[in-house]
Structure 1
Amino acid sequence: MGAPSGFEYAERADGSVVISHHDRKVTVLRGARAAEFLSDAEVDPQGAMARWTGNYKRGNERAAKQHPRNRG
């Protein structure tokens, strides 16, 4: 499973955090959730943003690739 990529975050002056994926706004975190995210993002920023937005691999990609409608 590859590492997540394409995520960016920006801290606003009001303390909120905007998380984007490929230049599209995904979510805005405010208050305690923003502070918790910032502490989580210090260790692994891309992984933290993937977890906080729910945009991460779920483990079923290989099975989905074999499905008849996805074979092409």
Structure 2
Amino acid sequence: MKSFSYQSTKDKVRIFWDNRPIMTLSGQKAADFLAKAEDLDEAELQLLLAKLTGQFKHGNERMAKNHRRNR
């Protein structure tokens, strides 16, 4: 399942999750990302994007755990 995607521009890379922008890389970080991403297959690319975004989903998981439907 493809959740992450990215769009590269002249000097930036925008990272999306389910078509929602979550992060923008610029400068050297964008160049490093593009160099790594060009040799990866789809599964490896998804893993790289997930690692790059770091703790992106953890905040939502904590909030959901405390929701009354999950108690």
TM over 0.5: yes
Matched residue, 2:22: 26
TM-score w.r.t. length of structure 1: 0.63
Matched residue, 1:37: 33
Residues matched between the structures, number: 59
TM-score w.r.t. length of structure 2: 0.64
Matched residue, 1:63: none
Q: Which runs of 5+ in 1 are unaligned?
A: 57-68
Matched residue, 2:12: 16
Higher relative contact order, chain-length normalized (CA < 8 Å, sep 6+): 1
Matched residue, 1:7: 4
Q: Which has the higher helix share?
A: 2
Moved over 3 A (4+): none
Q: Which runs of 5+ in 2 are unaligned?
A: 57-68
- Tell me how large the CA RMSD over aligned residues is: 2.8
Q: Percent identity?
A: 35
